Amino acid sequence: MSLFSREKRTPLTGVDVVLADLDGVVYAGPGPLPYAIESLQRVERTLRTGYITNNASRTDASVAAHLTELGLTVAPDQVVTSPQAAMRLLVERVPAGSTILVVGGEGLVDEVVKAGFSVTRSADDAPAAVVQGFAPDVAWTDLAEAAFALKVPEDEGGIPWIATNNDWTIPQARGIAPGNGTLVSAVHTAVGRLATVAGKPETPIFREAIARFAATHPLFIGDRLDTDIAGASRAGIASALVLTGIDRPKHLLAAPEGSRPTYILGDLRELHEPYPETRIRGDVTSVRGASVLVDGPDITILSEGDRPIDLVRAGAEAIWRTGRQIFGFRVPERLYADPFHRP
């Protein structure tokens, strides 16, 4: 393949389904992120699109309605939620029609009911399992009921505990807020046992999406290395990290193997742009006009190029290909400068 043809390839080349995270990719809080809607509208014209979210507080129908209000064309069955993935796990572990203690909001309750289970909020109702997901109004009393129900370890006859996800944070319009992982951790601290996780970075939610869309060459777009990109990697899916959410250039440079994206994007407009080739010449890594030299423990910027995203791409590849951890290098601050939009 010639250099010219490589330069014409975009992150969408050869893709049959685009799967996108929501928080930090499409929106932060109720409002859209810059360029996200216009870019995804372009995707919708030629490719099937689906949306994968760890946020368990809303139903698939409400998420679809929100995305439609923002200007996209989304039906409820295009939204894959962590509660739906949790139900795939739950039906394998407890009898149909069982009573389930739910810690979470409407999105989780809706899926538990659709799966044929009964819902309780009290450990006194002898639930067959606990399912826990994020909702803004989850209270100490809810966490306490979960702890009471989970006091006996599962390998000693206790009931299963399934968490929709384990995200430590969630982007909001006012900034970064605690996510479901902090609530799951609170229960873990009380009972000394671990939950089975359905959402990213675990594979159940990706298996649900691949099966639903019959995808053969999907691209997953996310904003977090530890959940989105690591999860896509575990599921064998190509991924794009967009720098509009949680993880920043400095996190990207330090990304361990297994959490490194196929593509690095400043915003979603770059889905439609030719993705530049990374050129390696000895210890110099270049992307377009940006070049980075690895010289022992020193990372040196030889040229910043015309676009900050290319410098990030070159720096990340230069560090990753050494096989060494970032703390073993002296890294110039300019390499992880952050001119990219974030909530």
The phi, psi pair for 318, rounded to 5°, reads -60, -45
137 given a catalytic annotation: no
Distance CA 170, CA 135 (A): 11
87, 216, 336 from 238: Cα distances, Å: 25, 11, 24
d(CA 230, CA 295): 29
Q: What are phi and psi of 331, to 5 degrees?
A: -110, 125
Q: Rg of the chain's alpha carbons, rounded to an integer?
A: 21
Beta bridge partners of 172: 175
Rounded to an integer, what distance in angstroms lies between the CA atom of residue 304 and that of residue 288? 10
Give SS3 for 176.
strand
From the list 321, 238, 232, 229, the residue with the least C-alpha distance to 278 is: 321
Residue type (1 letter), 311: L
* Residue 60 designated active-site: no
User: Catalytic one among 23, 223, 228, 267?
Assistant: 23
DSSP 35: T
Quote the distance between the C-alpha of residue 61 and its chain's center. 20
- Which residue do the tokens 């859209």 mark? 32
- Token digits of residue 195: 């939950």
CA-to-CA distance for 304 and 289, rounded, in angstroms?
7
User: What is the DSSP-derived secondary structure letter of residue 244?
Assistant: T
Active-site residue identified among 16, 21, 226, 298? 21
- Which residues does the annotation mark as catalytic? 21, 23
